[in-house]
Amino acid sequence: MHSPRHLLSSADLSAEETAYLLDLAAALKRRPQKVLVGKHLALLFEKASLRTRVSFEIAMDHLGAFTMYLDPREVGLGEREAIRDVSRVLARYVDIVAVRTYGQSIIEEYARFSSIPVINALTDEEHPCQALADLLTLREHMGDLRGRSLAFVGDGNNVSTSLVITATALGMDVRIASPPGYQLPEWAISEASARAAASGGSFRHTTDPVEAVRGAEALYTDVWTSMGQEREAERRKIDFAAYQLNAALVAHAKPGAFIMHDLPAHRGEEITDDVFESPHAIIFDQAENRVWAQAAVVAFLLGADRSIER
């Protein structure tokens, strides 16, 4: 049996494939094309979603395909039914599946038993579709990303992990500042460093937010407390107090630096309201581009990319 191609981690994509997907997303955004008529996507979600669910459904509509949403009550992944069984059953019904779940090990097990492509629509460890949308947005505003600078301030979480891997692959100068104990996992630091070396970019991780943002052309932050970490919220507010994206910190960046956030935002915590509403914010462009990044991923994994006119 042919082994399908999955997107479980940003590291699954080579630098060339990452650039290719951004080109594909841009082409589809300019001119949506129904290259997947008769195809079906299952959205298998164990976590709540606004942007991910809506953007996948709209993306599939633009491609001419059908989407089915399955929530935890209907599936009970690994509880009501074994992960491997759910994977093999859905593969008999649909052409591709996007899984939004908790541990990375869950989606990896799901993919091992799937005869159709599997997309990571978010796990606790990674968020590859968000990173592609982020880089598509930056490319729209900056042009060629090689040598351009991006600073992330906050938790070394799933969003920042996928972001640094994707941005370094494209030759960007990437910096991340996180409090001690909240830094990127070692494998992500190694992966980003290797990709930066190969692409001619650079990668720096630090605990000093001023060092990270100094002269940066784009600034990115995310919530201090992600889904599933609610019991840590009060502790995190203390630990991340110096990592707020506010006017004082932004002043160290390049004048006119773009402001980024993957949403939902907790205004007054990781970002102040004035920075969020800055004329340099491209936050809602990021949200919009989830549609086109995911349309490109689905078309690519199903082999319909060759039918798309550029």
pLDDT at position 229 over 80:
no
Residue 310 lies in a domain: no
Helical H runs in 76-150? Answer: 83-91, 104-112, 128-142
Question: Which pLDDT score is estimated for 54?
Answer: 98
- Per the model's pLDDT, the better-predicted residue between 195 and 232 turns out to be 195
- Only one residue has tokens 């936050």, namely 283
- Residue-number span of the structural domain to which 38 is assigned: 10-126+290-305
Tell me: do 175 and 223 sit in the same domain: yes
Question: Which pLDDT score is estimated for 154?
Answer: 98
Tell me: do 155 and 166 sit in the same domain: yes
Question: Which pLDDT score is estimated for 72?
Answer: 80
Max CA pair span of the chain = 57
Model confidence pLDDT, tens digit, residues 260-277: 999 999 999 999 999 999
Tell me: do 187 and 301 sit in the same domain: no
Tell me: do 96 and 177 sit in the same domain: no
298 closest CA partner among 285, 308, 287: 308
Tell me: do 234 and 142 sit in the same domain: yes
pLDDT band at 169 (very low <50, low <70, confident <90, very high): very high
Model confidence pLDDT, tens digit, residues 5-15: 999 999 999 99
Tell me: do 256 and 232 sit in the same domain: yes
Tell me: do 208 and 118 sit in the same domain: no
Model confidence pLDDT, tens digit, residues 131-142: 999 999 999 999
Model confidence pLDDT, tens digit, residues 61-118: 999 999 999 988 777 776 778 999 999 999 999 999 999 999 999 999 999 999 999 9
Which stretch of DSSP H or E encloses residue 51?
A: helix 51-63
Which stretch of DSSP H or E encloses residue 120?
A: strand 118-120
Residue 5 lies in a domain: no
Question: Which pLDDT score is estimated for 71?
Answer: 84
CATH number at residue 297: 3.40.50.1370
pLDDT band at 306 (very low <50, low <70, confident <90, very high): very high
pLDDT band at 1 (very low <50, low <70, confident <90, very high): low
Tell me: do 30 and 155 sit in the same domain: no
Question: Which pLDDT score is estimated for 41?
Answer: 98
Model confidence pLDDT, tens digit, residues 17-62: 999 999 999 999 999 999 999 999 999 999 889 999 999 999 999 9
Alpha carbon distance, N-terminus to C-terminus of the chain: 32
CA distance 151 to 241: 17
CA distance 102 to 227: 9
pLDDT band at 191 (very low <50, low <70, confident <90, very high): very high
Q: Which residues contact 248 (CB under 8 A, 6 or more apart)?
A: none
Average pLDDT across the chain, whole number: 96
Tell me how many domains the chain contains.
2
Residue 1 lies in a domain: no
In this prediction the pTM is 0.97
CA distance 156 to 180: 10
Tell me: do 295 and 244 sit in the same domain: no
Residue 208 lies in a domain: yes
Tell me: do 49 and 19 sit in the same domain: yes
Q: Which tokens belong to 147?
A: 């040598």
pLDDT at position 174 over 90:
yes
Question: Which pLDDT score is estimated for 214?
Answer: 98
Tell me: do 154 and 50 sit in the same domain: no
Tell me: do 183 and 217 sit in the same domain: yes
- What is the percent of the chain with per-residue pLDDT over 70, rounded to a whole number? 99
Tell me the average pLDDT across 188-194: 98
- What is the percent of the chain with per-residue pLDDT over 90, rounded to a whole number? 91
